[in-house]
Structure 1
């Protein structure tokens, strides 16, 4: 009886002290910004605050546009307007003035 309690106690201690876990379990490895549907409406560049690509772990790749009013709109990675805006705002030559 004492040996069973000792084994269970050691098992419990090892579980509590062990911090090894699969990487996918950690919150930091989960995709933050993913798109599940895409817009086809073009915005005026004046309304675009920023544009970024979706996380590499997302099922669908695309762009996320942050508007000056705080909305987030998803666009397909092949949508010409979004590709153009990404090049204007995120290229070294076009990253200066956003209005």
Structure 2
């Protein structure tokens, strides 16, 4: 009986410590997903932009998130040509 309990205990421990997740379950991941509900239309000079990221595919609206020097995150539509140009420049 002891070897069975030991084996089941080690298997349970390995399952708890493993962070692998099937692709189908990644939607239910507990990590924060940044999505945009409102889009901005004003331009930001390149010297004030620190990074640009795309929103997750789990978001309803595809968008770019522009990170500024003042640590603000501003959403822009992915069809905005100037944001797309800056995104391609920074990548």
* Same fold by TM-score greater than 0.5: yes
Which structure 2 residues correspond to residues 29-44 of structure 1 after superposition, within 5 A?
32-44=33-45
Which structure 2 residues correspond to residues 1-99 of structure 1 after superposition, within 5 A?
23=25, 24-28=27-31, 32-90=33-91
Q: Counterparts of 2:33 and 2:76 in 1: how far apart (Å)?
A: 16
Residue 67 of structure 2: SS of its match in structure 1?
Answer: strand
Q: Counterparts of 1:56 and 1:35 in 2: how far apart (Å)?
A: 12
Please tell me the root mean square deviation across aligned C-alpha atoms, in Å.
2.0
Unpaired runs of 5+ residues, structure 2, are 1-11, 17-23
Q: Counterparts of 1:73 and 1:80 in 2: how far apart (Å)?
A: 16
Q: Counterparts of 1:61 and 1:80 in 2: how far apart (Å)?
A: 14
Once the 2 structures are TM-superposed, how far is the Cα of residue 37 of structure 1 from its aligned partner?
1.1
Unpaired runs of 5+ residues, structure 1, are 1-16, 91-99
